[in-house]
Structure 1
Amino acid sequence: MRFKKRRLLQMFLYTSVFSIVVPLFLLPVWSFSSRWTWPHLAPEGFSLRAVEELLGPHNHVLSVLLSSMGLSFIVAVLAAVIGMMTARALVFYDFKGKSLVSFGTILPIIVPGTAFAMGIHVVFIHLGLADTFLGVILVHLIYALPYTVNIMTDLTHAVGKTLETQAQVLGVPPGKAFFYVTLPLIMPGMMSAASMGYIISFSQYFLTLMIGGGKVKTLTIVMIPFIQGGDRTIASAYALLFILSTMIVFVLIELCMKKFVFWYGKMD
């Protein structure tokens, strides 16, 4: 019986890996193919049209990519920090409206995306945040917080406050007790929360289009029309750029957080 369960689990694992890896390997092939129709197993021709699209000076793809990465990186860091502070408040403290705050952290997930975007757009128009870079950051942050808060809440429950309290009993100030004791323990969760916040922000299309009003361009805004239009060559090239840039940012997020802990550890 155990052998059968193990075989089923292995088959499920191999199938999952196969369904993820194969499309990734096909993206570079599609990016350089000029024509690939059914039932041919290989492209019927190759071209550099996708390279010209990405590197062409008229498209400003590099500036759009850097702007998108910067925007989503800001959202990721803010979402991780706010998620951590919110999780600590929900886990360690009792205050009026605690259940309302806890429920509010999942509202962006419960409310349909279209209704949320149209409602927040009206609010941002009155606040002067519509069609601005700051407005897009804020709406992405609102949409990412439910995920980061939930990640950090589970981790905060698991880590607890015992070690931090012991450090304070021994005379360590509360701030240093948190940074020296608790922060290293929750850093993996902070990295996961930041990564989740980044990918949510980086992949947003409708919210960015609605709040940004077409003035704030991201890689997703440029990529989606090619996917919807059926241009698989250009769409694959953009998708490949999307994946590679995301992997680079994930490495940067990890390095930045480790550098921050190391820098604070050197302070008196």
Structure 2
Amino acid sequence: MKKHRLMGLVLSAALFSIFLPMALMLLWSVAGRWPWPGLLPETYSLRTIKELLTGSASLPRLLSSSILLALTVAVLGTAVGVMTARATENYGFPGRSLVRFGSLLPLLVPGTVFAMGIQITLIRLGLSDTVAGVVLVHLVAAVPYCITIMTDVTRAVGTGLEEQAMVLGAGPVKAFFLTTFPSLLPGILSSMSMGFILSYSQYFTTLMVGGGRVKTIALVLVPYIQSGDRSLSSVYSTAFVGSALLVFFIFEGIIHRIQKGERKP
């Protein structure tokens, strides 16, 4: 009983720490005048909503481009994670441990150092200030997490069913997609959600490599926060958190439905 109460208190505290800032951001987004120490705004205004929907920084266009870019990174990062995990877990070859260690190296390099160094390389390759360059940089940040997730899932799934399918006459590709892939699918979606969040929240690398031409919602959000315009920064923050949570819950919903379907006899 005490354990359940403790878990309930922890969960309540976690929900409170999440929803209270969200409520304050929603309130700030429609606040016209809110002098200290008032608990509520004195006046309300839809200035920020109109600015976002009809101004130069169109929120729908900004959200769609940011989500599309992050989903591209998520798909590519997960594909690399699946191939790397299968290579290191299912096959023995010289340097396998080195590959595993190398996949974690991007986590050891500070983001600012990496962004400044990779920018010079991308300028020489003609990829600076391009979407392709931003996707490539985001991939470097997301791939270590995708590989880690897919390595654990691949190790848990194993190759037993795949080997049996090949013994019965199925080719390697057919055996993988008929036996192993359905078991890997929840892990693939988890890897994609991680890759999406990591790409969606990138600011400094996007600024350095994209040069301000590749705009994402994180790139637009930070200057408003620094400018002190609490109303506009609150609207952008709410849109940023809400859109990220929406995509995350979509991934989680798909995973839940897949796992629920697997439990049915």
For residue 113 of structure 2, the aligned residue among 90, 112, 115 is: 115
For residue 191 of structure 1, the aligned residue among 166, 189, 194 is: 189
For residue 25 of structure 2, the aligned residue among 13, 24, 27 is: 27
Partner of residue 175, structure 2 = 177
Partner of residue 203, structure 1 = 201
For residue 44 of structure 1, the aligned residue among 21, 42, 67 is: 42
Distance 1:68 1:177, change over 3 A: same
1:237 matches 2:235:
yes
Distance 1:137 1:116, change over 3 A: same
Partner of residue 244, structure 2 = 246
Report the RMSD for the aligned CA atoms in angstroms.
Answer: 2.1
> CA separation in 2, counterparts of 1:255 and 1:19?
24
Which AA in structure 1 matches 2:116?
M
1:218 matches 2:216:
yes
SS in 2 for 1:155: helix
Contact persistence 2:86–2:151 (CA under 8 A): yes
SS in 1 for 2:169: coil
Per mean C-alpha deviation after superposition, the further-off stretch among 94-103 and 129-138 is 94-103
**Shift, 1:255, TM fit:** 9.2
**Shift, 1:47, TM fit:** 0.6
**Shift, 1:67, TM fit:** 1.7
Map 1:156-171 → 2, pairs under 5 A: 156-171=154-169
> CA separation in 2, counterparts of 1:56 and 1:112?
38
Per mean C-alpha deviation after superposition, the further-off stretch among 246-255 and 157-166 is 246-255
**Shift, 1:248, TM fit:** 4.3
> CA separation in 1, counterparts of 2:76 and 2:90?
21
> CA separation in 1, counterparts of 2:65 and 2:152?
32
> CA separation in 1, counterparts of 2:250 and 2:122?
31
Which AA in structure 1 matches 2:221?
M
Distance 1:251 1:22, change over 3 A: closer
> CA separation in 2, counterparts of 1:256 and 1:173?
28
Which AA in structure 2 matches 1:93?
Y
Deviation per residue, 1:26-76 (Å, 9 max, x gap): 322221112334432222221112112211242233323222121111111
**Shift, 1:196, TM fit:** 0.9
For residue 134 of structure 1, the aligned residue among 97, 121, 132 is: 132
Where structure 1 has 5 or more consecutive residues not aligned to the other structure, the ranges are 258-268
1:124 matches 2:122:
yes
Which AA in structure 2 matches 1:6?
H
TM-score, structure 1 length as denominator? Answer: 0.88
Map 1:141-152 → 2, pairs under 5 A: 141-152=139-150
Distance 1:120 1:29, change over 3 A: same
For residue 57 of structure 2, the aligned residue among 51, 56, 59 is: 59
1:98 matches 2:96:
yes
Partner of residue 261, structure 1 = none
Where structure 2 has 5 or more consecutive residues not aligned to the other structure, the ranges are 256-265
Partner of residue 260, structure 2 = none
Contact persistence 2:190–2:251 (CA under 8 A): no
For residue 77 of structure 2, the aligned residue among 79, 82, 86 is: 79
> CA separation in 1, counterparts of 2:242 and 2:2?
38
SS in 2 for 1:96: coil
**Shift, 1:160, TM fit:** 1.0
Deviation per residue, 1:233-259 (Å, 9 max, x gap): 1111112211333244446667999xx
> CA separation in 2, counterparts of 1:56 and 1:113?
35
Per mean C-alpha deviation after superposition, the further-off stretch among 131-140 and 88-97 is 88-97
Aligned residues: 256
SS in 2 for 1:131: coil
TM-score, structure 2 length as denominator? Answer: 0.89
